[in-house]
Amino acid sequence: MRILAIGNSRENIPTASSLTKSSEAGFTLIELMVAIAILAIVLTVAVLNIPNHDERYWRDNLDQLVSSLNMAQEESAMSGNIMLAQVDSVGWRFLNSAPNGSSINRVTRTDAASSSLMPDVYRSSRWYKPVEIAPLQLTLGGEQISQALIIVIKQDNRQALLERSNNGRFSWTKP
């Protein structure tokens, strides 16, 4: 025979383990501080590993300048139209000149044969950061190149040499 006591069943009696579980719900102050400290360390490491994009932008600017100058040189030589390139501490731009040199106009997409691969090759461009360079104007296409040309370009702690070879091709190198 089985005798049951009302209100005395095991399900209604709180045990020691159920009392401790209810008092440990949530985080302690020490646990929160440890989590914040770990998060701060991870964020510090992440910020230190973010690359400095200045060097990449510097190289991209030099590559764009060289590509534009070479394209303008080739187009000027093929078409017989003289093109002027102005390079200074702010950026570079291209100007179109009539074969007799009487008029100079800024080169636009309608003036230059626009390539589907490089449609804006002659648009005015700016350096990502200002550079140190003596203002320069190059005549492309109509001149006889007798000697190589070397131009020093500086930006912050970087330096490059813009070179024009005897055959009229432009390139840049690190000194």
Does 7 fall in a domain? no
pLDDT 10s digit of each residue in the chain, 175 long? 555 555 555 555 656 555 555 566 788 999 999 999 999 999 988 888 887 788 889 999 999 999 999 988 888 888 888 888 999 999 999 988 655 544 455 554 444 444 444 557 788 889 998 899 999 898 887 667 777 889 999 998 899 999 998 888 899 999 8
Does 163 fall in a domain? no
Does 90 fall in a domain? yes
- Looking at residue 140, the DSSP 8-state letter turns out to be E
Does 100 fall in a domain? yes
Does 79 fall in a domain? yes
* Structural domain for 120, as ranges: 54-141
Does 149 fall in a domain? no
Task: Return the half-sphere exposure (C-beta side, CA atoms, 13 A cut-off) of residue 134.
Answer: 6
137's enclosing H/E stretch is strand 136-140
**pTM for this model (two decimals):** 0.63
| Domain count within the chain | 1
Phi/psi zone of residue 168: left (φ > 0), alpha (ψ -120 to 50 degrees), beta? left
Does 98 fall in a domain? yes
